[in-house]
Amino acid sequence: MQRLRLKADGRIVELRDGEEIPLAPVAPLEVRDLRRRVQLTQQEFAAKLGVPVETIRNWEQGKRMPRGPARALLTVIAHAPETVFAALAKT
């Protein structure tokens, strides 16, 4: 199981053998690739994240950039999608 920590400055780090290893944030143009990698449509991805489908479209088209918690969530999804979607399904 991967252990992740959200730092106060918005960075996400993986805890491995007592060390914090930074995870690279997901760039806006990579949102489409991430969604496709987890094999979801825009509608399905939006539903799993609890955001309007327009938000996903705006991110993928570069009209808006994911910020704060959304960017952190996308970064974690990029590294452990099954874990994130399982946790979100329980809410």
**pLDDT, mean of residues 8-16:** 80
pLDDT of 11 higher than 70? yes
Token couple for 56: 């996903």
More confident: 54 or 19:
54
What's the rounded Cα separation, in Å, for the pair 12 and 63? 24
CATH homologous superfamily, domain 26-89: lambda repressor-like DNA-binding domains (1.10.260.40)
Q: What one-letter code names the amino acid at 37?
A: R
What residue ranges in 17-85 does DSSP mark as E strands? Answer: 19-22
Instruction: Give 26-69 pLDDT, tens digit per residue.
Output: 665 589 999 999 999 999 999 999 999 999 999 998 888 888 88
Q: Check residue 27 and give its pLDDT.
A: 61
84 in Cβ contact with 77 (< 8 Å) = yes
Segments making up each domain of the chain, as ranges: 26-89
